[in-house]
Amino acid sequence: MGQVHIHEGASSGDRPPVQPPETMAALRVHEFGLPPREDRLPIPDVGPSDVLVRLVASVVSHHDLTVAGGEFAVRPTLPYTPGLEGSGRVVRIGSAVDPDSFAVGAPVRVYGGGLGAIRSGTWAEYVVAPERAVTPIPGGLDFAAAAACGSVAATAWAAVTDLGGLLATERLGVTGASGAVGSLVLQLAGQQGVESRVGWVRSPGRVDRLPQGVEAVANDDPVAPVDLLVDTVGGPLLAKRLDAVRPGGRAVLVGYTAGERVCFSLPNLMAADVSLLPLNMMRRRVPKEVASSLLAMFADGRLHVAVELVQRRDIAEAIGRLRSATASGRVVFKW
Ligand SMILES: NC(=O)c1ccc[n+]([C@@H]2O[C@H](COP(=O)([O-])OP(=O)(O)OC[C@H]3O[C@@H](n4cnc5c(N)ncnc54)[C@H](OP(=O)(O)O)[C@@H]3O)[C@@H](O)[C@H]2O)c1
């Protein structure tokens, strides 16, 4: 093990032992495109700027499936442990980590920092995360919800604020509005005083996932033009949705649940003069204070994300539901 501080402090019941066991369970991908297998591995070493976390809840995200498909720009060396995000309790901190920020036993959310792509991720009992990827969980938020809201809330914030530059006086349109990212884009915009919001929903049974005050539309419904489109579905639907953006407007490209490829008429795109803004959360840093304030908004109920809790042994089925967009919320499993 690397040099570590052990710092006592946090209270409460299910704290992990200060000395973790020698080995842990980990779900690892041995072959791209196939479900993970459960292995036993040594507890990972803690580097100077790292935090060792005993996971309570781990998330299966679209990003994990993209990486595990083996055709993404980042191809981990096999076998590897996926998992972009999760939540749990601090076990150890590296020598350069401020002990006042992360007390042993404190509940934390881990997200980003290359987890599940360029370093071992959260589909394991323990994870070593860089300090910048660890955020304390405020009171009132349970482990599953804290794990589930990480990447999707950060993505929504970046789409609305950082990249989209949405103004309160503008009109917002969101595709995949019943999905985790789409719903949070609409919720955050509402929190920022944006009144004119429209959400495209494919499955009528999921309209109730849209926040209050949002105009729900089906794919072929006519809509008044929007200033900013946040597209979470991609594919051929993206080309169609661009027609709903006013000339000179912007489109933030977030996802591709409806397809990875799209074909545009370049002359028409140029005539419409819509700026296409791809969002890459692997390159974008979410400031610590933004991550903390988003978590606080989930804790006090201003933001909400649907969660589907699954058993670890059922992860292959859950992966299938996420791929076919039939999961009933963010897929979370517990340790
Ligand atoms: N760029 C980045 O850095 C970044 C970061 C985070 C997420 N993402 C991407 O964002 C996308 C959305 O993520 P999420 O967590 O919100 O997913 P999600 O919760 O699983 O929601 C998926 C959404 O896609 C819709 N959908 C699926 N197939 C569709 C189709 N054929 N036609 C129309 N709508 C369809 C679903 O509509 P219904 O519910 O109405 O059926 C649902 O609203 C994913 O592709 C993810 O990889 C990208």
State the fold for domain 152-278.
Answer: Rossmann fold (3.40.50)
Q: Residues enclosing ligand 1, CB less than 6 A?
A: 62-63, 151-152, 155, 176, 178-182, 201-203, 206, 232-233, 237, 254-258, 279-281, 325
pLDDT in tens, the chain (335 residues): 333 333 333 334 455 556 789 999 999 999 999 999 999 999 999 999 999 999 999 999 999 999 999 999 999 999 999 999 999 999 999 999 999 999 999 999 999 999 999 999 999 999 999 999 999 999 989 999 999 999 999 999 999 999 999 999 999 999 999 999 999 999 999 999 999 999 999 988 888 889 999 999 998 888 999 999 999 999 999 999 999 999 999 999 999 999 989 998 999 999 999 999 999 998 998 999 999 999 999 999 999 999 999 999 999 999 999 999 899 999 999 99
Residue 48 CB contacts under 8 Å (≥ 6 apart), including other chains = 2, 3, 94, 95, 96, 97
pTM of the model: 0.93
Quote the CA–CA distance of 30 and 81 in Å, as a whole number: 9
User: Which two tokens mark 164?
Assistant: 């989209």
What pLDDT is attached to residue 11? Answer: 36
Mutate to test the pocket of ligand 1, among 175, 232, 238, 324 (most ligand atoms within 8 A of CB): 232
Residue 176 CB contacts under 8 Å (≥ 6 apart), including other chains = 182, 200, 202, 231, 232, 233, 255, 257, 258
HEC assignment per residue over 96-125: CCCCCCCCCCCEEEEECCCECCCECCCCEC
What pLDDT is attached to residue 2? Answer: 35
What pLDDT is attached to residue 188? Answer: 98
Q: Label the pairing between strands 171-174 and 196-200.
A: parallel
Q: Which of 124, 125, 131 is nearest to 108 (CA)?
A: 131
Length of the chain: 335
What pLDDT is attached to residue 10? Answer: 32
Domain 4-149+305-334 architecture: Alpha-Beta Complex (3.90)
What pLDDT is attached to residue 220? Answer: 83
Contact 201, 183 (CB under 8 A): no
Ranges of each domain in the chain: 4-149+305-334, 152-278
Sign of the torsion formed by the C-alpha atoms of 144, 202, 260 and 160: negative
What pLDDT is attached to residue 147? Answer: 98
Centroid of ligand 1 to alpha carbon of 112 (angstroms): 19
Task: Give the Å distances, CA to CA, from 176 to 34, 200, 212, 262, 268.
Answer: 27, 6, 16, 16, 24
User: Which two tokens mark 312?
Assistant: 């670890």
Quote the CA–CA distance of 76 and 290 in Å, as a whole number: 29
Count of other CB atoms within 10 angstroms of residue 150: 29
Kindly report the protein residue whose alpha carbon is nearest to atom 46 of ligand 1: 255
